[in-house]
Each structure stands twice: as C-alpha cells, then as structure tokens.
Structure 1
C-alpha cells in the first residue's frame, strides 16, 4: 500500500510517501522558523496560512522524487492532533479532499504516535515491546509500548516539559529563536562544573517530570551574575547553558533507566525533538553500555516534525483498519494513552 502522509500540527509542513513493502520512498519538509523568528515564537494564524501555501507543492515534489502519480496513492494519513487547531485543519481538510477525489481511505494520526514510531523507519528497527522516552515540544513522557496503539503511560510531565524548558530558558538568557537548538549550541562552549543546577524530581520515587523549577533556578543564577548594565558575559551564559543541559539530560536519562528497570524491558526508544540533543544521546548510549540495554534513535531529520512519521504510522493503521470517512476531525488536545489499538 502506498500512503501519502501530511504533517501540519505546528510550524513545519511535512509530506512523505511510504510504501508498506518498499519503505519510505520520498519526503519533504518546509520549516517556518525564519517566518516566526521575527515574533520570537509561533504565530498560529501565520502558521496556518503558510501550511496552505506549502502542502500541495510539497506533495508534487515527493511524487516526482518517488516517480509516482496521484493515482498511485492508495491511502492518505494526516496529523489529527495534538497541535494548533488551525494548522491541523489545513492538513486534515486537504487530506480529506484528496482522498475523496482519489476514492482512497484516509486516517488521522496522533502526532506523538508518529514520533514514537519514527525509529521503526530505520534499517535496524526496535522490536516490541520497548520503553519509549518521548520528548517532543510540550511533552516529556515515558511509555511502555507493546504494539501499534498499545501504549501505557509510565511517567508524564507535571508542568514544563523538557522542550518547553529549553525554549523558555533560552529566552531568559536572550538567545535566538528557536531557543532549544541555540541553547544547546552555546552549551558546547560551557565550562564543565562551574555551575550546578537542581535535578527536579530525580529522587521522587516515580517516573514523572517537572522542569518549571529548573527554569526558575536558571533565572536566579543569571541574575546573580549580571553586571552593572544587567548583562551576562558570553562565557557565563555558555556555562549556565551547559549546567542547564546537564540537569535536563541527567533527569531524562536516569528516569528512562528506571522505567526499564520497572518494566523489566531491555529496549529503549528515544523520540521527539529533544531526542536530537547530542548530549542526551551520548548520556543514554553510555548508560546503555553500562546497564546492558539497547537504545534506538531516529535519524536527526525524523526527530523534528516530519511527514515520514505520519505516513508510516498511517500506513500501519490503514493496513489493519482500512478506514474511509468524509469527516476530517482534529483534536488539538489528545492523550496518547487514550489512543486505541488498530483492529
């Protein structure tokens, strides 16, 4: 089955073609970072309008790269949620219109399920069951995954997720947009051990996360080291960035290892935008070698939002469910643990 995937949940338009026997045939992505940078964050109305401009040209692009035509498409998957309502409606309505014109089934995909299953696109995919560390945007979760649609929440974020903490901390330190990558880049120049920040809920006895207090600790530390002009010198900013990243990585790594121990599983999947963080990958790979478990990561291009993960997740569901509906529902808020397994 050849499935077209459309991702439009926030500020990136992704389109891909996935074949259930031949694998990923082509994918394309347009990022809106340059457009939103002027405002210091995502403007929902601008995001929605830009998705409208991008989806069809990107669809034509991936069809050309794959050597396919619209008539070859046998199913269409789109991001149903969670995300920005207007942005979700763009992908959903275009998917429904194409499906109606081509007389093919369509299926809405949970954005986080797409991230969670992205490592299955690799040449050496993890086998079920496994523990997933899902660190994407406003989500920091640990899930026990026993199959497609079979997800049990082990730990969740109680306030700011890791990605939100990266972005908000970057803003506090006067870094550019998007904040997370800018902070990680500056941390590479930090002095190890100069600052020590708290590790929130590291010893809480559960697998939940909380990073809002860490952001406050950064603010307090930064205020202590500002000069008379209320500015931070570049090295101090770098050192604070490194201390912040160290704290995030230690909490995520140790909670993930605890989840493996609690479930008795030996495979860990890391997914989502923060999963691209170099220090997190190094920390988890080191822990895997020491604790003797396997850890799987998607390619860096599949850590951020993308159409490939939606096409793949949609193909898995369409192959089992064969949905077809003229409705195109969206769910701006949608708990992954409430997602049904395909029939």
Structure 2
C-alpha cells in the first residue's frame, strides 16, 4: 500500500492513506469546525451582488429549487459544515462556498474567454497592425513600480507594459472592437494553451476566492475545510488552485481534501437530487472526457467505457470552429443553436465504432468526416457564419445538424449497452447521471431521456450552471469525503519554496471493466496515477 500513497509533507493524499497516520485519524476530526447559527447567519442561495467584469456569479434561480432538496446529514457530522471549493483544472477559475446541508452560499466562475479581450493596435513605425489580447479588468492586474497599467499579450510575444499615454487609445479601441476581430483571434489561437491558462489562473485566483467568500458573507476563519481539484487536468493549471488551497488551509489550520475532477462531476447530481443513492450509472461528457461508469459507492467506480481518442466536446468545438461559428461561447452551444436550422439527414455521416460491441467512444473519425464534408461544400472557415451567404449558412446548418445527430447517436448506442452491463452487475440501479459540460446541451438530454426511459431508469442532469466546471461540485465532493474521514490535516504554516504538491494530471476514476476493454484503444500508461477506486480500496485494508 505504501507505494500507492504520496507523502504528506508537501502533498494532498486525498484519502489519508499513509499507515503511520491511521492512528491519528480520529484526532484529525478536531479540525472540523461546526458552526452555530449565531455565528453564521442563514442565507439564501443567491449571491449578494453580481459581477460586471470578467467574473460572473452564477444565477441560481434555475438551480436553487433543485439544490435545496439536498441530501440529509450524515449521523456522524452535523449539517453546519462550510467548505470552500476551488477548481482550476483547465481554463476556468472557479470557487464556491457550500454548506453540508446542500445550501450553495456562493459561486464564482472566471472564464478565460471573458478575461482575454483582443484589440487591434496600429503601429506606424512598422507600418502594420497587430492583434493583442488585453487582460482586464485593471484592478485584477499586478502593479509594476506603483503604476497601474494594462498588460497585453501579443502574438507571439509575451506580456508588455503599456504606458499611460496609450490608455485612451486602448480603451477606445477595446470599446469599438468588432466581432470579426474577436472571432479571428479565437480561430487562430483557440484551444487551451497551458502556460497562458496558468498565467490567467494566477492573475485571478485570489480575487475569485475572495469574491466567493464575500458573496457568502464569510471569511476564511468561518470555513470548516478547503476542497481543491488535484486531477485530472493540466498540471500547470492544477498547481495554481492547489497552492491557493494549501495557503488558506495552512493559514487558518483547516483540513484539506484533494478532489478528483470527474468524481465531482458525478457527485454534483447528489447535491441536486435527494433521491439519488448508490449505486447509480454516470455518463460524464466534456471537452476532454467521455466516461461511462458504474458508481458502486463514494470513491468506488467501475469504468464501463471511455474514449479511445477524442471526446465529444472536442468534436463539437472543432466542428464549430470549422463552420466559422462565434467561439466566444462553447462550441457545443453554438452547434446546438445552428443545428435547429438544419436538416440532420442531409449529410451522410457514419456512426463511429459500429463494429465494436463495447461501450468505448471515438470521435476522431467523425471529426474527419465533418472536415471532409465541409471541404466538399467549399465552405471557407475563415469567413464567419454571419458574413456567409444565405445559401452557405444553410449548408453550414445542415452540417451542424447532421454532425450533432450522429455524435449523439454514438452516445445513445454506447449508453444503452452500458446500461445492460450495469444492470447485470447491480440490478438495483435506478438512475443514469449525465454531467460535464456537454450535458448542458438540451438535444443531448432529450435523446438520452429516451434511452433511460426504454430501460426503466430515471435521468438525472444537474442544471447547466453545475454541468460545466464549477467550484460547487468541488466543495460538495469535499463534503461527501469529509463525512467518511477522507481528508488531510492542515499543511505546515511554512513550506519550502521547492515543495512538490500532489498533482494528478492523468488520474483514472475507476478500474476498467473486463468486457469494456477495447483492442482499438492504445492508452499511454506513463505517469498515470493509480485510479481513485484502487486508492480507496487500498485504504480500507
């Protein structure tokens, strides 16, 4: 077991695995801070204020009535624990404060699509115009030499300090920016650049966390614990969130929980649906993941299927880019809207992996089919959809509709087989949870509702604001694990500068089901951490 457990000196163990700490398990319970009603006023689910800058407090009108039916308390701990959740696994910086009775006290998400605003700046000295990205708003930027300035990211140059004399020009240019410039920049430099994403997280993490606390009308001293994503995700991005969480936990002597990002996507449904009990099935679909899992219990998952190449969210995003759609929002939302105008049967696309009788996914081939269809119609992706002719807009809509039909049909077929497998293993299953960013798509939900209805199951989909990456799911997963004692004691107040924090960029959720193994899959194994399930099981022995 020792080989599975990271050292705790500068890491988050996530499951408190080290044998030498087992006898101190009950001692660590003292770090729970139960909160009296006098010290913490009851609040509604709505944040105190809204944000007009790049930070947005989620609108909870659509989720409060659902999430107020949260699961009852565990008999061991009361329902007055308050946990801060921090999420930085990819390109969204998120934080939320959640009470253990399921009450969402606050939620803040900073999207890098809204942090970075492109502008065009004419440089007479070189007789050319360059596109930059302006990092806004100014109050979230570091100061140099006491002067408040704007920092621009040039392509491909690095950050530059813009002198105050240029501010009026930059402000006027930013206000007058055209959609064409924005779409052109996103088309050229779309996707997540890890180093740029890390810098963006670093710029805003302090403010995002502070705003989450302010909205909850709390301070760090009022928290019971801190939960943070430690994997899977981009290492550079994960590090920003983990370092922030450890700093808070050390300063205020709070226990800390390292959270599996995909487990959080699955467990957020238990916050929103009080009747959802283990075991249940989960389909987790996003830009980087396609997972079909059987959730036996907290921390115990059986992987029925995964992607052998690209995830469905990646296919949506690429198709949206090739069709010249507005990329200021997700590709999934853009495709879903355009598909309503198209004929889903007009383009002949093949459903992937028809010959493979397993539950794995593949979207790389479908992406190729879509690209070839676009090329055959002589569609120029460099021309934004809004600038295309009416006839060409119709062609693009047909391609979007045809792509979406086949992409989701692939989901349906795999889900139906996985349901049969899961019912053979756990006949008591009643629910299929669908979560992750792609689960926000209403067409996806409608089609999967038909699948579960045929199998006498119930479909559970969190509200769209809780399907995409958010801090609520991290805080709630932390709470669920607290109740089982799966947390670490506070980090030391002073850590060495070269402290190696526990990051798990490639971290499987569960063990692979034998019938689900695919000969088509060639997964790299280097630097893959033991699965969450294997670590959980090891900690029980």
Q: Same fold (TM over 0.5)?
A: yes
Provide the rounded CA distance (Å) in 2 between the counterparts of 1:125 and 1:323.
30
Q: Which one of 340, 344, 348 corresponds to residue 196 of structure 1?
A: 348
Indicate the residue corresponding to 1:336 in structure 2.
Answer: 509
Equivalent-residue separation in structure 1 for 2:84 and 2:217 (angstroms)? 14
5 Å matches for 1:39-58? Answer: 39-58=189-208
| CA drift at 1:315 | 1.5
Q: Mean alpha-carbon deviation: is it higher for 280-289 or for 229-238?
A: 229-238
Q: Secondary structure of the equivalent of 1:336?
A: coil
- The answer to whether 1:76 aligns with 2:249 is no
Pairs within 5 Å for 1:226-241: 226=378, 233-241=392-400
2:467 aligned residue (288, 303, 308): 303
Inter-partner Cα distance in structure 2 for 1:78 and 1:325: 13
Query: Which of these residues, 286, 289, 303, is aligned with residue 453 of structure 2?
Result: 289
Q: Structure 1: state its 5+ residue gaps.
A: none
Larger Rg: 2
Which residue of 1 is the match for residue 291 of structure 2?
141
Between Structure 1 and Structure 2, how many residues are aligned?
343
Is residue 2:85 matched to residue 1:5? yes
Give the CA deviation at 1:242.
Answer: 0.5
Residue ranges of structure 2 left out of the alignment (5+ in a row):
1-80, 118-181, 424-428, 492-499, 511-530
Deviation at 1:22, TM superposition (A): 4.9
Q: Which residue of 2 aligns with 1:30?
A: 110
Q: CA deviation at 1:278?
A: 1.1
- The residue aligned with 1:243 is 402
2:370 to 207, 218, 228: 218
Shift of 1:229: 11
Instruction: Name the SS for the 1:243 alignment partner.
Output: helix
Give, in whole Å, the separation in 1 of the partners of 2:403 and 2:396: 10
Q: Which has the higher helix share?
A: 1
Task: State the SS of the aligned residue for 1:14.
Answer: strand
Match of 1:14 among 91, 94, 104: 94
| CA RMSD, 1 decimal | 2.2
Distance 1:69-1:325 versus aligned 2 partners, 3 A rule: closer
Match of 2:255 in 1: 105
Separation in structure 1 between the aligned mates of residue 464 and residue 502 of structure 2, nearest angstrom: 30
Q: Normalised by the size of structure 1, how large is the TM-score?
A: 0.93
1:258 correspondence with 2:408: no
Taking a change above 3 Å as real, the CA distance of residues 127 and 202 of structure 1, as seen in their structure-2 partners, is farther
TM-score, with structure 2 as normaliser: 0.60
Moved more, 120-129 or 295-304: 120-129
3-state DSSP of counterpart to 2:110:
strand
- The answer (yes or no) to whether the contact 2:96–2:212 under 8 Å persists in 1 is yes
Runs of 4+ in 1 over 4 A off after TM superposition: 227-232
